[in-house]
Chain A
Amino acid sequence: MSLPQTAEALVAELQKLLKAEKPDLRTIRKCSIELAKLDPNFQHFAIDAKTLIHLGRDSIKDHTTALLELVKNSYDADAFNVDVDVFCKNNKDSIRVSDNGFGMTKEQLINFWLRIGFSNKRLSKVSELGRRKTGEKGIGRISTDRLGANLELITKTVQDGIVGLKVNWDEFDTEGKDVTDIEVEIFTPTSINIPDKENSPSLTGTEIRVTNLRQPWSKSNIENLYYELSALTSPFRNVKDFTIKLENDVAPEYSKPVDSKFYKASEIEVTTVFDGSNKVFYSIKDKYNKNEIVDTINVEQFYSKVIPADSSSEVELKCGPVEVKLLFFLRDSSAVSGTDLKLSDLKGFLDNNNGVKIYRDNIAVKPYGFPKAQLGYDWLGLGDRKAKDPAGISRSQDYKVSPYQLVGAVFIERDSNLELKDSAAREGLVESEAFFDMKEFVMATLRLLEVHRAEIYPLIEKNREEKAATPTHKEVEKLMSQLTSVKEDLNFIKEEIETKDNVKPISFLKPITNTISKVDVIADDVDSTISELLKWQRVLSGLATMGISSAVFGHETEGSISQFQGSTNTAIKFLKSLPPDIEESLIELDKAIKHSKKVAAWGSYALTRVQREKRSKRNVQIFKTIDGVIKELKPAFEASSIELKINGENLYSKTYQMDIESMLVNLLTNAYTASLLTKKGTRKVLIKVGLEDKDDKKGYYFSVSDTGPGVAKEFRNRIFDPLFSTKNTANNESKSIGTGLGLTIVKSIVDELMGEIILETDPVLKGASFKIWLPKE
């Protein structure tokens, strides 16, 4: 509908619209906006609709992160259960996140959810249930755009019943439209599909459905999603505090309740069970012993084991039967070594879950173990306890656990723990004698953990020293000796079978079982030795690559340092001259700043070459990784008038980022040196990245080509040999002879990753072209 252009006509139109029996609110709004634009004295900022795209789609890393934000919003909305569905095969195309959190009223939907930039997470960092809010402020709504073009949000509250809205994000992705021009439909659905709460239909909740998905989901995406979601869930299986159920048609093995894997990273796990009589069952598991310690003792002995001998020997617990589980974690890389967990994720998990919670009938009892505003609700006083006695583990008798390293649960039941009563005046339990007995039992369990940790600490240190001191050849000798022992056992069995008549198979059961166990141990040892070696090889390759590239590119940095120094000196001279020459001084200072940034960039390049997270096998965005390295080295190439370009497509593969970077840097170093010898025309280096299948195997490639002289046919079968280099003294070349290691490193990585490397002459650039193909995981 076209509106009048003049103020008078608009006023007349508005009056007509307002007088209508059923006012057309949409046209009234449009008319009012047009009228306001004609105000000669006051105007307003307009916001381009594309701004939302920039805030959302362009700034959220990937679709897994976007979906995770929606689940975090459910967590922050105090949901107990969340259903996450991802269906994108067989003509299905939808993602659904549905929870039984507190939902939104119509007013909240319109005034909060539709208000870009608003987040009530700024008002309070903690939810009503006391959960530490996990989601990013104000991002959740926009993250749906990252997932798909169409959003349908339905929400239910006791006050307003069911209300919904529909958004088509693609409408925002057009030029010249104002955010306010795009309409969001509000509707009143008749039903909502949300999880039940405590086996009854929930009165509140929110269901989000996204369709017209932006990109397909792969098996590794689902695996990654499952892993990320597990950080939000409790490590204790029977807890019903916050459960997530994932359903999908991409990787059906992950269609199940999300289970936390973070308990795998615990150093020590202690469980104590008091059965209400006079017995305490306890079990202690730690990372260093395969055998679990399981024992039963009297309550008095339990307390005497862990509290000073001069205390009363008579103990009576009024709390009733109670079970306590405590998980102790180290907050360093040793905690995740040997697992596929990331340290940053473990820390996130600990930040969300640290503390000892009380679960009655598997539901958490506020506020025990929940963070509150700035201070965690540390009902056991662990923080104060540690602060008063901060002794490290080496002072075993005084050692106390830090609250941020402990994830614990106390399980009680309403019917069995009658003396543990709800407080009428405030949240929590009545702090009666029964409550203090339970508390003391938890503390005794904690002391058991601390004593055990102190006991095993010398063993851990000894193992660390032995491991560090044991050279590889000794490890190999040990493995060989173990294998020899296995061989002897098998030979014995063989002889028994060959030499004895009437041999009963059952008589070999035990020897064979023992042998199998030995083989298992050996296999584990071999695996860990090889893993350790490969890990070291990876790091050393990375360091060697950095050394090689520093020798070649480092001179550029040296030049920048000189220029920085020279320009600064010169600027000072100009300022000191009479009269001071400000203009020249500023010119030199600009140069100094430019070159200082180059130096900083080189420093950053060097520091990021062997970062820890690059050493583990993860889903890597190959093009982005390669592009990142190119951006870092580009200034050095440009300084030598070498055009450096990349062409390719986005692709993911599960691999070691350090390996990709090491191979690339070595090839680029060679290409740089070769390009300096370009006889005619512009010096160029071109990198290509793409998908390529080979022999029915899915894979990808990246290639580096240059305009240099190429590699003579005579040398092609030797260039991967260690210490062989074609960079010898020649006219017009510095005598920085090649190390002969770069391509050897590349080849060894390619072989380990089961890929291929080919050397050809580039048909366009005429120089060498190295192409690496790798299988895609």
Chain B
Amino acid sequence: MQKFLIVDDNTEQSSTVLKNIKLELAKLNVVFEVEAIFPFVDPNMYNEYITANNVCVVILDEKLNERANPAGTTVNYMGHNLVTLLREKEKDLPIYTITNYGADADVQNIYSEYDHIINRNDFYDHTDKYVPIMVRAAQKFSERSAEDLSEFNDLARQIAGGNNDPKLIEKLKALQTKLELPFTGFDDRKNWLDAYEKEIAELETLKTKLTQKINGK
């Protein structure tokens, strides 16, 4: 099932946000999981987590470095740092921040990286406005992801079937990048086939020479 992920070092705060989202989702009669997590000490763990847990919306607090986790460790990055990191790989993933520090220069400087910067008090007052926006964004994200996968599948089949149209190959490369699929290099494939055919041709030539040698005895 798809998931809304809340990242916040303040568990009281995140649980209140979580409850509000769940209540609103129930009213909208849509099914999404909602989870609140403490920020990872290693920020590189997020991408894997997002993929593995089918996360379709991320909601961040800004001041992530204040409270210690149960192991007594605090993280050394803030919400705006995390957004920049996530955007390196997740161009389309809906990312929101719910914070009282939306006006801070750090956040404003990367305004375009967020889908929305939501004032915390405003969120509590107007949950019924914000959650539907998040739901729509999540649904669009999921649809696009499914469409992209389907298109990738089609293109891969065509190229594997021998269609060497450069435009198709370009499109496939782009989709590979977007979907973070391993890059198989179709130019390489052609070169490999050419090399393979050349090897075969050389072997054929060798075979002819050997036959001639044997027969010429």
* Interface residues of A, Cβ cutoff 8 Å to B: 555, 558-559, 562-563, 565-567, 569-570, 573-574, 577, 584, 588, 591, 639-641, 676, 678-679, 682-683, 731-732, 734-735
CB distance from A152 to the nearest CB of B (A): 57
Closest to A736 in B: B104
Indicate whether B54 reaches chain A with its CB closer than 8 angstroms.
no
Contact B124–A555 (Cβ < 8 Å): no
Across the A-B interface, the 6 shortest Cβ-Cβ residue pairs:
A641-B68, A566-B124, A640-B66, A569-B124, A562-B120, A566-B16
Residues in chain B near residue A676, CB distance under 8 A: 65-66
Complex Cα gap A591–B65 (Å): 22
The docked-state distance in angstroms from the alpha carbon of A591 to that of B20 is: 15
A sample of 10 inter-chain contacts (CB < 8 A) reads A555-B100, A559-B13, A562-B120, A563-B16, A565-B121, A565-B125, A591-B16, A641-B67, A641-B72, A683-B68
| B23 x A577 contact (CB < 8 A) | yes
Whole-angstrom CA separation of A567 from B124 in the bound complex: 9
CB-defined contacts of A640 to chain B, threshold 8 Å: 66-67
Cross-chain contact A573 with B104 (CB below 8 angstroms):
no
Checking B20, B65, B104, B105 against A566 with a beta-carbon cut-off of 8 angstroms, the contacting residue is B20
* Distance in Å: Cβ of A574 to nearest Cβ of chain B: 7
Which of B20, B72, B77 has a CB less than 8 Å from the CB of A570? B20
Interface pair A732/B76, CB less than 8 Å apart: yes
Mark contacts of B104-124 with chain A using CB atoms, 8 A cut-off: 1 yes-contact digit, 0 otherwise: 111000000000000011011
Do B106 and A735 have beta carbons less than 8 Å apart?
A: yes
CA distance A565 to B13 in the complex (A): 11
B171 interface residue (CB < 8 Å to A) = no
Cα of A640 to Cα of B65 in the assembled complex, Å: 8
Tell me the complex Cα distance, A591–B63, Å. Answer: 20
Q: Are B124 and A588 in contact (CB under 8 A)?
A: no
CA distance A573 to B22 in the complex (A): 11
| Cross-chain contact A558 with B100 (CB below 8 angstroms) | yes
Complex interface: chain A residues within 8 A of B20 (CB): 566, 569-570, 573
Task: Specify which of A555, A562, A732 is in contact with B78 (CB 8 Å cutoff).
Answer: A732
Interface size class of B (residues with CB under 8 A): 20 to 34
With a 10 A CB-CB cut-off, give which of A555, A566, A641, A679 has the most chain B CB atoms: A566
Q: SS class of chain A's interface: helix, strand, loop or mixed?
A: helix
Q: What residues on A are CB-neighbors of B67 within 8 Å?
A: 639-641
Question: Which chain B positions have C-beta within 8 A of A577?
Answer: 23
Q: What is the chain A residue whose CB lies nearest that of B123?
A: A566
Query: Please, which residue of chain B has its CB at the minimum distance from the CB of A558?
Result: B100
Given the interface pairs A577-B23, A676-B65, A732-B77, the reply to whether A588 lies near B16 with Cβ below 8 Å is yes
User: Per a CB cutoff under 8 Å, which of A555, A573, A591, A641 touches B23?
Assistant: A573
CA distance A732 to B124 in the complex (A): 27
Closest to B10 in A: A559
B125 touches A735 (CB 8 A): no
Q: Supply 9 further A-B pairs (C-beta < 8 A) apart from A563-B13, A566-B13, A591-B16.
A: A562-B121, A563-B16, A566-B123, A566-B124, A569-B20, A570-B19, A573-B20, A641-B66, A734-B106
Q: Is the CB of A563 within 8 A of B12?
A: yes
Q: Which B residues touch A565, using CB under 8 A?
A: 121, 124-125
Judge if B47 is at the interface, Cβ distance under 8 Å: no
Known: A563-B16, A567-B16, A641-B67. A682 touches B100 (CB 8 A): no
Q: Who on chain A is nearest to B24 by CB?
A: A573
Task: Find chain B residues with CB under 8 A from A558 CB.
Answer: 100
What's the nearest-Cβ distance from chain A to residue B69, in Å? 9
Per the 8 Å Cβ criterion, residues 71-124 of B in contact with A are: 72, 74, 76-78, 81, 100-101, 104-106, 120-121, 123-124
Q: In whole angstroms, what is the CA distance A558 to B63 when docked? A: 13
In the complex, chain B residues whose CB is within 8 Å of the CB of A569 = 20, 124-125
Partner of A734, one of B13, B16, B17, B78: B78
| Chain A residues, Cβ within 8 Å of B76 | 679, 732
Chain A residues lying within 8 Å of B19, measured Cβ to Cβ, are: 570, 574, 584, 588
Nearest-neighbour CB distance to chain A for B199, whole angstroms, equals 54
Closest A residue by C-beta to B20: A570
Q: Are B81 and A732 in contact (CB under 8 A)?
A: yes
Most buried by A among B19, B65, B72, B125: B19
A289 to B106, CA, bound (A): 63
Check if B74 sits within 8 Å of A683, measured CB to CB.
Answer: yes
Which chain A residues lie closer than 8 Å to B125 at the CB level? 565, 569
Q: How far is the CB of A734 from chain B (nearest CB, A)?
A: 6
Query: What residue in chain A is nearest B78 (Cβ atoms)?
Result: A732
Q: In the bound complex, how far is the Cα of B13 from the Cα of A641, in angstroms?
A: 16
Residues of A within 8 Å of B63, CB to CB, are 555, 734
In whole angstroms, how far apart are the Cα atoms of A584 and B22 in the complex?
A: 12
Closest-by-CB residue of B relative to A556 is: B66
Measured CB to CB, the nearest residue on chain B to A559 is B100
Residues of A within 8 A of B120 (CB): 562, 566
Taking CB atoms, residues of chain B closer than 8 Å to A588 are 16, 19
Which A residues lie within 8 Å of B12 (CB)? 563, 591
The residue of chain B having its C-beta at the shortest distance from the C-beta of A591 within the complex is B12
With a cutoff of 8 Å between Cβ atoms, the chain A residues found around residue B10 in the complex are 559
Determine whether the beta carbon of B72 is less than 8 Å from that of A682: yes
B55-66 interface bits toward A, Cβ cutoff 8 Å, 1 = contact, 0 = none = 000000001011
Tell me the bound Cα distance from A679 to B76 in angstroms: 8
Contacts of B13 in A (CB 8 A): 559, 562-563, 566
The answer to whether B74 and A641 have CB atoms under 8 Å apart is: yes
Q: What residues of A have a CB within 8 angstroms of the CB of B68 in the complex? A: 641, 682-683
A587 CB, nearest partner CB in chain B, Å: 8
Question: In the complex, what residues of B have CB within 8 A of residue A559's CB?
Answer: 10, 13, 100
Contact of B124 among A570, A639, A731, A735 (CB under 8 A): A570
